[in-house]
Structure 1
Amino acid sequence: MIVVVGLGADGWPGLSSIACQAVSAADVLIGAPRHLALVPDALPGAGALRVVLPSPLLPGLAALAEEHAGREVCVLASGDPMFHGIGSTLVRLLGADRVRVLPHVSSLSLACARLGWPVERTEVVSLVGRSPDALRAAALPGRRLLVLSADGGTPARVAALLSAHGYGASPMTVLSDLGAPAESILYGTAAHWPHPVTPALNVIAVECAPDPGTTPSPLTPGLPDDAYEHDGQLTKREVRAVSLSRLAPLPGQLLWDVGAGAGSIAIEWMRAHPSCTAVAVESHPDRAARAERNAGELGVPGLRVLRGRAPEALDGLPTPDAIFVGGGATVPGVLESCWAALRPGGRLVVNAVTLESEATVGLWYGRHGGDLVRLAVQRASAVGGFTGWRPMMPVTIWSITKPATDAVGPSTSLRDIS
């Protein structure tokens, strides 16, 4: 059993008697240098072996757990170890039955207490080890954000990003060393943030306020086409909204976006919920680079863009909950590989715009069923001094939920029906 003890900025005096006993009884103390330094040398367990957390963390933690198996191990952490902390990591690695967590008050609770913000109405974004671009999807009018900082320079980077994103008017409050005698609070707005460096242990509170003329980007499917950098290889807005409704993003689920182009489907899948993940597979290097830039600009820098050609590029990827094929449906083996990889109950959505891809989709629909829809969208535009309708290319959308057991794919090829 590994015991994880959360420490506040007030250090040892702020620990409960149970937490103190757990630290004192340890044969091995593991933590960051800052946490280890908070444990007094005069403890009954002062002779415990003190080990600094490894880097990289994940493989090092597993090795430490194995090395010290059978000994009393105590891991020191900040605040609530299950709130974006090492407690969650250890439970994921070892299982809940091998980890006991003794939490301290989290920085979220302390910050909300100082601000008078209801915890349940506050959105949390962690920038510890993550790109600040993650803020772009969270910054919406009227939203209250608590941003977990990586260091003393994070508040200035957050202010710059919000200003560039059209939220320079947002009030910012930086709460440092919460719970310690040196606790401090700094105020400003994103556009006029006067503190280039703050104390390293800080939480940033943001009240999102758009600048005049800023158009918010909603989290619902179907962002405007001009929200993306693209070369024409983009699933258009209306078709994108319908395709995503069939893909049905759910929290914690994984999407494969095969033939991703500008990455719009994968990006809007991830914007549906912070825990949604996606792999965008794109063979064209320039398009893959655009997809990465689009992901950052639209607040999902965690999108994995895989440069490669399906079906070979799909080998070894984690099992998806949903797959979108926006290009390459006629490439031999693509649909077969996608169907085989999709978990039972997963959703497959294939878009077809050519006669050849429609024929392929028709074969699969004939074999497996599902839902087949053809969209024909027209947009108003100028016709001389008047206004008329200009049709977009029709798109055929095949969507299906994979049953518990099914064959790999149709045995009939296009050559067989020619």
Structure 2
Amino acid sequence: MSAAPAWLHIVGIGEDGLAGLTPAARAVVEAAEIIVGGDRHHTLSDAVTAERIAWPSPFDALIDRLRAYRGRRVVVLATGDPLWFSVGARIGRAIPPAEIAYHPQLSAFQLAAARMGWSMADLETLTVHGRPVHQMIAFIQPDARLLILTTGAETPAQIARFLSERGFGQSRMTVLANMGGPDEARFDGTARDWDHDVPAFNTLAVDCVAAPDAALLPRVPGLADDLFVSDGTMTKREVRTATLAKLMPMRGALLWDIGTGSGSVAIEWMRAARSARAIGIESRADRRAMAAENALALGAPRLDLREGEVPEALEGLPAPDAVFIGGGLSEAVFDAARAALRPLGRLVANAVTLESEALLIDLHARHGGDLVKLSVARAEPVGPYRGWRPSMPVTQYALVKR
């Protein structure tokens, strides 16, 4: 018995409107009873007679609206490829895939890469459309090429400022608008001299060029300590690197950072993997403020900071893929965190006091895992010479929930 045909069609459309669609996609649009989309999409398809529905507000109401149309011929119009930073992915998470047919068009990324002569395999594709613009900061690297779906006419100037502040003012920037249509436009310049007024709907191409004094902010964990605003109580660079190696950042994974302090571990977790998320639990308001400042400056604006004392503050949080206990360590906190971890979840706890170390030794004896002591010494002046000045050793306990 064959499956019923899809009742919901999600069609990508470009600046050339119906003329740019494949014959099959055009037939679907022309046969629609209901067409859902933004004003621009309706204008591009105005030759078709159908009931017209605008994007609802709030946008999440779209799913219930679509479900109410089940059994009718429904088309959702999206720009370019509906499954590439677009509405198709959101709908596909809520409505069974068998009920949906996708009809992709060339995406803005593909068009922009063609205009720039860039290989799609050698660049980063990002969106800040409806999202914090600061998140692109994590991708500013020497010689990187970025294609960015922007959030409005002001976005290129904001990104130009981010580049200039970090020593990438010589980076070449190109704004492309209305690609594939009769009003296609292009604006070129450098970050430090950017002064163009551009259309609100645009795609930005950035060819990153680093000055000799540019800030080096790799996405591999281990950012310099002085890049973080801190009161001194933070997980230092070498220990932070070892900590994140055992937390294992992965795409879309969620971290609980207990006793987040300046946010260094949570921020590096989010920078290390696309779409990685983090909740930082910190009882002190001054430290939450520092963590928020660091998150904006280093490209992790979605760090979710929560006030509270542990373990009570952990109740009701979404289940984590990893937990870091950098402060507030106790057996009750460990038990609550371990119980909440998803299968294959990772837990790492660091300790510097003898009392906390004793607890980690006991936990290791009872639950297994890895127990190591990390010692770091730095070369510093000793009179006219240099010598090693050791930092306080850190005892680190790590386990994987199986």
TM-score tier, shorter chain, comes to: over 0.9
CA-to-aligned-CA distance 1:334-379 (integer Å, 9 cap, x gap): 1111010011211110001112211221221111111110112111
What is the CA-CA distance between 1:159 and the residue it aligns to? 1.3
* 1:100-115 map, 5 Å: 100-115=101-116
Aligned equivalents of 2:293, 2:360: Cα separation in 1: 31
Aligned equivalents of 1:260, 1:227: Cα separation in 2: 16
Aligned equivalents of 1:97, 1:233: Cα separation in 2: 52
Is the Cα–Cα contact under 8 Å of residues 247 and 346 in structure 2 kept in the other structure?
yes
What is the CA-CA distance between 1:286 and the residue it aligns to? 1.1
* 1:73-84 map, 5 Å: 73-84=74-85
The residue that corresponds to 1:185 in the other structure is 186
- Consecutive unaligned residues of structure 2, counting only runs of 5 or more, are 1-6
Count of aligned pairs between the two proteins = 396
What is the CA-CA distance between 1:191 and the residue it aligns to? 0.3
What is the CA-CA distance between 1:200 and the residue it aligns to? 2.1
The residue that corresponds to 1:406 in the other structure is none
Aligned equivalents of 1:257, 1:79: Cα separation in 2: 38
* 1:24-43 map, 5 Å: 24-41=30-47, 43=48
Match of 1:57 among 45, 59, 83: 59
What is the CA-CA distance between 1:385 and the residue it aligns to? 2.2
Aligned equivalents of 1:137, 1:247: Cα separation in 2: 19
Aligned equivalents of 2:55, 2:349: Cα separation in 1: 46
Partner secondary structure for residue 189 of structure 2: strand
Aligned equivalents of 2:223, 2:238: Cα separation in 1: 9
* 1:11-410 map, 5 Å: 11-41=17-47, 43=48, 46=49, 48-58=50-60, 60-195=61-196, 197-330=197-330, 333-403=332-402
Is the Cα–Cα contact under 8 Å of residues 145 and 207 in structure 1 kept in the other structure?
yes
The residue that corresponds to 2:4 in the other structure is none
Partner secondary structure for residue 93 of structure 2: helix
Is the Cα–Cα contact under 8 Å of residues 260 and 282 in structure 1 kept in the other structure?
yes
Aligned equivalents of 2:154, 2:222: Cα separation in 1: 35
Aligned equivalents of 1:72, 1:307: Cα separation in 2: 48
Aligned equivalents of 2:365, 2:54: Cα separation in 1: 60
What is the CA-CA distance between 1:173 and the residue it aligns to? 0.9
The one-letter amino acid paired with 2:374 is: L
What is the CA-CA distance between 1:386 and the residue it aligns to? 2.2
Say whether residues 1:3 and 2:30 are aligned partners: no
Q: Normalization by structure 1: what TM-score?
A: 0.92
What is the CA-CA distance between 1:49 and the residue it aligns to? 1.8
The one-letter amino acid paired with 2:259 is: G
Is the Cα–Cα contact under 8 Å of residues 90 and 99 in structure 1 kept in the other structure?
no
Partner secondary structure for residue 192 of structure 2: coil
What is the CA-CA distance between 1:277 and the residue it aligns to? 1.5
- Consecutive unaligned residues of structure 1, counting only runs of 5 or more, are 404-418
Is the Cα–Cα contact under 8 Å of residues 140 and 217 in structure 2 kept in the other structure?
no
The one-letter amino acid paired with 1:335 is: F
Q: Higher mean Cα deviation, 230-239 or 385-394?
A: 385-394
The residue that corresponds to 1:410 in the other structure is none
The one-letter amino acid paired with 1:62 is: I
CA-to-aligned-CA distance 1:175-226 (integer Å, 9 cap, x gap): 111000111111100001130x212221111100112311311122111110
Q: Normalization by structure 2: what TM-score?
A: 0.95
Aligned equivalents of 2:234, 2:290: Cα separation in 1: 11
The one-letter amino acid paired with 2:272 is: A
Q: Which runs of 4+ in 1 moved over 3 A?
A: none
Aligned equivalents of 1:128, 1:27: Cα separation in 2: 30
CA-to-aligned-CA distance 1:259-289 (integer Å, 9 cap, x gap): 1111111111111122221111111111111
Aligned equivalents of 2:385, 2:117: Cα separation in 1: 56
Is the Cα–Cα contact under 8 Å of residues 221 and 244 in structure 2 kept in the other structure?
yes
Partner secondary structure for residue 283 of structure 1: coil
What is the CA-CA distance between 1:383 and the residue it aligns to? 2.0
Aligned equivalents of 2:62, 2:256: Cα separation in 1: 30
Aligned equivalents of 1:388, 1:198: Cα separation in 2: 56
Aligned equivalents of 2:275, 2:134: Cα separation in 1: 16
Is the Cα–Cα contact under 8 Å of residues 10 and 179 in structure 1 kept in the other structure?
yes
The residue that corresponds to 2:3 in the other structure is none
CA RMSD of aligned residues (A): 1.3
Aligned equivalents of 1:33, 1:312: Cα separation in 2: 47
Aligned equivalents of 2:119, 2:182: Cα separation in 1: 24
Is the Cα–Cα contact under 8 Å of residues 285 and 307 in structure 1 kept in the other structure?
yes
Partner secondary structure for residue 57 of structure 1: coil
